[in-house]
Amino acid sequence: MTVRGVDVSAFQPTYDASGLGFVFVKATEGHTWTSPVQAKQATTARDAGAVVGFYHFLWPGQIPAQAAYFVAQADSRPGDVLACDWETTADGTAASCAEKDAFLAEVQRLRPGHRTVLYCNTDFWLHRDTTSRCGDGLWIADVTTAGQPRIQHAWVFHQYAISGGLDRDVANFATTAALRTWATG
C-alpha cells in the first residue's frame, strides 16, 4: 500500500494535499449542517491530483432525509467516493446498524454512479455491526500500523493515525491510478 491520504473537516479549513493519493472531505452532518469549506477543501485535493471523497456524519433517525441532504449538499463530481461516517454523535447516541444499512442503500440509489463506503471504528465494526454491509467497501479506523487494521473483513481505506492535526489514512491499492480506476468504477 503506497496510496496515502487524509480526511478533513471544517476543523482543518486549509491543508497541504501535496503527495496525497486521496482526500475525504466532511460534507454534511444530520439533515441540517453543511461544511462551509468543503468546496475549497475538495479543490485543494483535485489540484494536487488526489481522488476525492465526501462523507456524511450519520445521526439516528430521518435516514432518507439525511441521505437526500448529503447527496444534494456534497460538492461531489463523477468519480468521487461517498462515505457514511458511523460513530457516536455529540450527544452520545448512534445510528443503529439497520439505519447505517438504510443510509448506504439510499445513497447508492440516489447516486448510482458513485462508489459508497462505510467509515467506522473497530468497536462499531466488531460490536455494533450485525450485517457486514459497507456499500462498496469498508473504511476502518484503527490506530495501528498503516495498512494493518485489526479486523478480518476486507477493507478499502484504513485510518491509522492522527498527526499534524490530520487523520492519516491509506488505501488498499498499489497506486493512485488503481484507486482512481476503482473509484470511477
The whole-angstrom separation of Cα 107 and Cα 111 is: 6
Q: pLDDT value at position 51?
A: 98
- What is the DSSP secondary-structure string of 46-97? HHTT-EEEEEEE--SS-HHHHHHHHHHHS---TT-EEEEE-S--TTS----H
pTM attached to this predicted model: 0.97
Q: How many CB atoms lie within 10 A of CB 165?
A: 10
- Residues sharing a CB contact under 8 Å with residue 109, sequence separation 6 or more, in sequence order: none
Look at the chain and count its residues.
185
Q: Which residues of the chain have pLDDT under 70?
A: 1
39-76 per-position pLDDT tens digit = 999 999 999 999 999 999 999 999 999 999 999 999 99
Cα torsion 144, 15, 100, 77 to 10°: value is: -130
Q: pLDDT value at position 1?
A: 60
Q: pLDDT value at position 150?
A: 97
